[in-house]
């Protein structure tokens, strides 16, 4: 809903202002000019608010995106090594995988709240599915996800996210 409003707020404002203006002209006998002026001011205020909110959320998204990618970059080599050697069973590898799953769950939490763009979440899910192809990684994931420690993130949600438009 948030992304729809950010994309179409001008049309929403124009549509609401036109509808309210029409109602004022048809139903109200006095103070029409004042009411229409207030309606236009309200529509412009709505547009300003949405633009400001969108800018603030873009800043937050950039911060989150930068932080998540930085954390991922710091574990990328270890993840690649675990993937290549199918070695998710030892304690060190398991710790790296749990850190990665926690990072994925945090990304999911912010996506769920509407602060992560669907295209970014789709890419993240595709990356998760890549790692989950390995049996040793999948076993750790299956064990961990059953603890319900990942904000409700599941394999099904990851698969759904990977095909978002």
Does the model's pTM come out above 0.75? yes
Tell me, what's the pLDDT at 7?
85
Tell me, what's the pLDDT at 30?
87
- Which of the residues in the chain have pLDDT under 70? none
Distance CA(21)–CA(69), nearest Å, equals 48
Tell me, what's the pLDDT at 36?
92
Tell me, what's the pLDDT at 109?
96
Tell me, what's the pLDDT at 122?
97
């Amino acid at each position: 809903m948030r992304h729809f409003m950010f994309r179409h707020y001008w049309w929403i404002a124009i549509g609401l202002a036109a509808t309210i203006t029409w109602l004022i002209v048809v139903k109200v006998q006095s103070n029409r000019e004042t009411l229409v002026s207030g309606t236009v001011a309200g529509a412009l205020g709505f547009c300003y608010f949405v633009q400001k909110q969108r800018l603030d959320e873009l800043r937050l998204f950039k911060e989150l995106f930068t932080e998540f990618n930085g954390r991922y970059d710091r574990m990328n080599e270890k993840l690649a090594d675990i993937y290549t050697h199918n070695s998710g069973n030892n304690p060190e590898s398991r710790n790296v995988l749990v850190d990665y799953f926690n990072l994925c769950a945090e990304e999911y939490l912010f996506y769920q709240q509407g602060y992560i763009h669907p295209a970014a979440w789709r890419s993240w899910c595709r990356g998760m599915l890549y790692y989950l192809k390995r049996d040793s990684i999948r076993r750790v994931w299956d064990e961990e996800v059953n603890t319900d420690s990942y904000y409700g993130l599941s394999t099904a949600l990851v698969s759904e996210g990977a095909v978002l438009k």
